[in-house]
Amino acid sequence: MNPRIVLATTGRILRQLRHDRRTVALLLLAPPLLLSLLYFMFADLPTPPGQPRTFDRVALVMLGVFPFVIMFLVTSIAMLRERTTGTLERLLTTPLGRLDLLFGYGIAFSAVAAAQAAVATAVAYWVLGLTTAGSSALVILIAVVNAVLGVALGLFCSAFARTEFQAVQFMPIVVIPQFLLCGVLVDRGQMAGWLQAVSDLLPLSYAVDALREVGAHAEPTGAMWRDLSVVVGAVVVALVLAAATLRRRSG
């Protein structure tokens, strides 16, 4: 891996994004708008005594889910474009290494995800009155790690799509089961045993557990760090798989 090439690639990807103002606007505005929608959905719902507001519970989880979903989509399309326009083929004949490209994407989109998470979290806390026992900085940290997970899985899945039509179809396959089983709709403890087992294998479940730890405890807990490191581990595995699919030679 060559830091100069990684940095040049990160800069190139961000410069491409800068020319696409509509995408930047959508990336930054979609999460706060969706959170506002959630706020109004739950506004008139009575809160059971001794429980957190439903909005607090759901919004906290969504702050981690949005960056994961959005970065998965953005990355798989961006990487697919590299493959279909021939730029990837050319890049692989230059001194650029496979990891240089993967890390370039990882860093560029993590930076975007950090901006996105900062905006969404700021709106959630200051405008929509989200309250958590723990710090909002930890929420942003977990959101960024989730975004990197989305990037890594997007890089990997793009290898299995030949067209953009196919690439977007991976979204429901990769993302929705993780969302359904992560514990936000039904508590993981209340699911059938085999569903719990599946849920235990999905990285988003750990991300959501980590966010709940932040919601419930004033100080970062050991459980939160453990959950977060599971997500980081999943990122590494996905990046290794993505590197394995990035072949210099193709048929």
Partner 1 sequence: MDIAIDVRDLVVDRGGRRVLDGITCAVPAGSVTGLLGPSGSGKTTLIRAIVGVQVVRSGTVTVLGQPAGAPALRRAVGYLTQTPSVYPDLSVRDNARYFAALYGLPRAEADRAVAEVGLAEAATQLVGTLSGGQRSRASLACALLARPRVLILDEPTVGQDPVLRAELWEKFHALAAEGTTLLISSHVMDEAKRCDRLLLIREGRLVADNTPTAISAAAGTDDLEEAFLRLIRDPRIHDPRQEARPRAPEGKTV
Torsion of CA 201, 227, 212, 120, to 10 degrees: -90
Residue among 173, 143, 141, 142 nearest 73 (CA): 173
Would you say 89 or 219 has its CB closer to partner 1? 89
Smallest gap, in angstroms, from Cβ of residue 86 to partner 1? 4
Round to whole Å and give the CA distance between 145 and 67.
9
Smallest gap, in angstroms, from Cβ of residue 88 to partner 1? 8
CB distance 242 to 160 below 8 Å: no
Give residues in contact with partner 1 (CB under 8 A).
4-5, 8-9, 11-12, 15-16, 19-20, 85-87, 89-96, 248-251
Would you say 2 or 54 has its CB closer to partner 1? 2
Smallest gap, in angstroms, from Cβ of residue 12 to partner 1? 4
Smallest gap, in angstroms, from Cβ of residue 91 to partner 1? 8
How many Å separate Cα 239 from the centre of its chain?
A: 14
Q: Which long-range contacts link 246-249 to residues 24+ away (Cβ below 8 Å)?
A: 246/92, 246/98, 246/101, 246/102, 246/159, 248/92, 248/98
Q: How many residues in the chain? A: 251
Would you say 95 or 189 has its CB closer to partner 1? 95
Smallest gap, in angstroms, from Cβ of residue 181 to partner 1? 36
Would you say 96 or 139 has its CB closer to partner 1? 96
Q: Residue 134 corresponds to which tokens in the numbers above?
A: 């723990």
E strand or H helix that includes residue 224: helix 222-245
Instruction: Reduce the secondary structure of 181-203 to three states and give it as a string.
Output: HCCCCCCHHHCCHHHHHHHHHCH
Would you say 31 or 104 has its CB closer to partner 1? 104
Would you say 51 or 250 has its CB closer to partner 1? 250
Smallest gap, in angstroms, from Cβ of residue 116 to partner 1? 19
